[in-house]
Homo-oligomer: A and B are copies of this chain.
Amino acid sequence: MNRVLEDVIHKNVANTERITAENTVGYVVSDNASGSVAATSFDNTTAQGIVKHMNGLLVGLVQSAVRDLDPTNKLCYLRVASRKFEYLVAPEDMFTITVLQ
């Protein structure tokens, strides 16, 4: 895994635990370059499914939709509210964090 990403995850362990302690179903951090799971509270299959469908595919499509509508605009984050839970997807330059609550 990317050294810098590993460092960021390591530094934010306390934050991550605080966030996931309060009414959160779980989280996934994915490495944007490789599309792999960098850190997660889920089992690997669930985490990979979320990374594939949300972090990878969807974030790219939403970013281009936002830019198609206004080339000077930029996606900050995405909230997908479904019947069972809500996906909060925050794309950063090197990694993407998805929290389910």
Contact = CB atoms under 8 A, between A and B. Distances in A.
Interface in A45-95: 49-50, 53-54, 57-58, 61-62, 65-66, 68-70, 72-84
A76 B82 contact: yes
Contacts of A61: 57-58, 61
A62 B69 contact: no
Given A57-B65, A65-B58, A83 B78 contact: no
B81 A69 contact: no
Contacts of A70: 82, 84
Contacts of A66: 80, 82
11 contacts: A49-B68, A50-B69, A54-B65, A61-B61, A65-B80, A74-B83, A75-B80, A75-B82, A78-B78, A78-B81, A79-B81
